[in-house]
Each structure stands twice: as C-alpha cells, then as structure tokens.
Amino acid sequence: MAKPIITLNGLKIVIMLGMLVIILTGIRFAVEIVVPFILALFIAVILNPVVQCMVRWRIPRVLAVTLLIAFIILLAVLLLASLGTSLNELGRTVPQYRTSLIVPLQNIELALHRLGIQVSVDQLSKFIDPNAAMLLVTRFLTQLSNAMSSVFLLLLTVVFMLLEVPQLPTKLQQLMSRPVEGMAAIQRAINSVTHYLVLKTAISLVTGLVAWGMLALLDVRFAFIWGMVAFALNYIPNIGSILAAIPPILQVLVFGGIYDALLVMAGYLAINMLFGNILEPRIMGRGLGLSTLVVFLSLIFWGWLLGPVGMLLSVPLTIIVKIALEHSVGGKGIAVLLSDLSKP
C-alpha cells in the first residue's frame, strides 16, 4: 500500500500557517506593547505631511515637530477638559434614565399585551438598563485609554518617528535584497495609508462637528459627547456611523419622545448619506482596492487581535497586508482575494 507523500508546496503551506499562528499568538500576548507602537506609527503617518509642509516653508524639522506636538497637546488638554465635564454630568444624570424609562416601558407593555405577550415593566427594565449601557461605554473608553496609558511615551515615540523620516529610506534600502522593488512597495503602502488616514481624519472631524452642531441645534443634551463619539467611531468602516447614532437617539427617545427621536434619526441619516455615501467615496477615490466583504472581515479580525484600536485602524492595516502580499512570492493569490476586482 502506497504511503501518502507530502508535496513541497503542501509542506511550505503548513509551515507558513504554523508561523502565522505563532506570530498572531505573540501579538495577542504583547498587545499592550504592540498597540501603542501601532498608534504612534499611524499618528506619525498622519502628521508627517503637515511636518513636510512646514519644512517647505523653511521651518527646521526639529522646530516644526516641536510646534506641532505642542499644539496637539494643548488641543488634547482642552478637549479632555470639555469631555471630562460632559462625562461627569452624564454620569450624574444616568440614574434619571431609569425613572424616565417607566412611561415608555408601560407603553411597550400595553402593546405586547395586545399581541398576547404577557410581560411586566419590571421584566422589561431588566433588559433595558441605562447603567449597563454606561458600563459598556466605560469599558470601551477604558480599553482605549489603556492603549494610550503612557501618553508621554506615545508622543515621544511619535516625535522620534517624525525626526527619523528623512533617514529612513536610506536605512531600508540597505536592508533589502531588491531595493528598487522594495522601496516602491513601501512607498506605495505609505502613500495609500497616508491618503486614507489624512482624508478619513478630515472627514471624521467634519462629521463630528456637524453631528455636534445638529444635536446642539435640536437642544439635545451632551451634544459634545455624541459629537466626539461620531468623530471617533467614523473611523470604523461600515458600522461606525450606525453605532454613533444609537446613544443620542435612545436618549432623545426617553426624554423627548418618538417625534424628537425620529428627527435626530433623520439628521444622522442625512449626515451618513452626505458624508458616508456621497462625499467620502468621491474624496477617497477608488484607490484602496479592498472588497466590501474584506473590509468588514478585517474589522472583526483586527478588533479581535488588537481590541478597539484594531477596529479603528482595520482598513489601513489591511491595506499594508495586501500590498505586502502582492510583493511576496506566495502571497499574490491571497492579495487577489482581498482585492475588489470590480473597481479599476
């Protein structure tokens, strides 16, 4: 009886999969170190075009980086002060939500009774707990803040990365066996990620400001918090804008009624249609080359691997992986699977 023979290609695939499992396991164990480094890297990618612009204005690079970081620190302090005040106020008003929920729950109870479903208000209140929602938001903010717990170290890393940019191409060329092809791939990855992050940051900022203005115009409490949430969650593809709309809509539904909630929902739909479906695709262009399914699956994968930061940076991380696969011997087939062949 002939024994099964493992082909060389099959052995290579098994070894590569084993190495991939080891690498992913190592990243999961070292996530507290990896996440701040990735954050610093992408912050440096976003800020580098600004630094280069200042250098073209004949400002020394060291001074340009110093001024930019100082401005970011000042802006962060002002934003955190405003956000902290709003969060404290939100925390004090959370107990009021349970009392305000009684009337809507009673209406829901009557509607369910008409359908033959026997449910009490006490049972419904167990499923709709504002404290649980607040705890969920707190956990998300805690996980995000843990990734940035060493803010000084993070900013210091960003500073050194920005200062290292002019010498980096020469160093990388000396490490590569094929410098021309390797530098072309790296430059393409940097251009794609910079293009995505800079435009996504600008669009997210405008989205957050418009959401804040819309909620403030409708006299919705904690409009600043929900504007910040809209800005942050807009980085998450596909579902970020939907998640950002849920808390303010529920808040208005409890305190203002169905009509006000529908008005806020219409405002968020208009913002999502304008920025998410019209403006963003037109500004971003079609250069990312990732299929919609891959974007959604990357959101799940990077969120599992790196937590909330991985969800926020899922698209640029996937772009880097795709470009790296395109320039590897055995990865071109996988890169094709990640691509959106319907777009030129």
**pLDDT tens digits, residue range 45-97?**
888 888 989 999 989 999 999 999 899 888 877 877 776 676 666 666 665 55
Assess if residue 194 is contained within a domain. no
Q: Identify which of 200, 222, 201 has the alpha carbon closest to the alpha carbon of residue 211.
A: 222
Cβ–Cβ < 8 Å for 49, 198: yes
More confident residue, 43 or 80: 43
Q: Are residues 88 and 46 in the same domain?
A: yes
d(CA 229, CA 338): 30
- Using the predicted structure, report yes or no on whether residue 133 has a pLDDT greater than 60: no
pLDDT for the residue numbered 36: 83
Q: Which DSSP symbol is given to 4?
A: P
pLDDT for the residue numbered 214: 92
Sequence-distant (≥ 6) Cβ neighbours of residue 112 within 8 angstroms: 118, 119
- Using the predicted structure, report yes or no on whether residue 152 has a pLDDT greater than 80: no
Cβ–Cβ < 8 Å for 223, 71: no
Average pLDDT of the chain to the nearest whole number: 77
More confident residue, 208 or 258: 208
More confident residue, 132 or 274: 274
Assess if residue 44 is contained within a domain. yes
Note the Cα 226 to chain centre separation in Å. Answer: 16
d(CA 74, CA 193): 26
Assess if residue 66 is contained within a domain. yes
Task: Supply the range of the domain harboring residue 52.
Answer: 30-92
Assess if residue 195 is contained within a domain. no
- Using the predicted structure, report yes or no on whether residue 211 has a pLDDT greater than 90: yes
Count of structural domains within the chain = 2
More confident residue, 255 or 217: 217
Mean pLDDT across the stretch 15-38?
A: 84
Helix (H) or strand (E) holding 38: helix 31-56
Task: Please identify, among 68, 92, 116, the residue that sits at the C-terminal boundary of a domain.
Answer: 92
304-343: pLDDT as tens digits: 888 888 888 888 888 888 877 777 766 677 777 777 665 5
More confident residue, 200 or 145: 200
Q: Are residues 86 and 133 in the same domain?
A: no
pLDDT for the residue numbered 1: 47
Q: Dihedral sign for Cα 232, 343, 186, 56, please.
A: negative
- Using the predicted structure, report yes or no on whether residue 153 has a pLDDT greater than 90: no
224-275: pLDDT as tens digits: 888 988 998 888 877 888 888 888 888 887 777 778 888 999 999 999 888 8
Q: Are residues 111 and 86 in the same domain?
A: no
pTM, full prediction:
0.71
Q: What is the DSSP string of 164-198?
A: HGGGHHHHHHHH-SSHHHHHHHHHHHHHHHHHHHH
Assess if residue 229 is contained within a domain. no
pLDDT band at 122 (very low <50, low <70, confident <90, very high): low
Helical spans, DSSP H, in 101-166: 102-114, 121-127, 130-147, 151-164
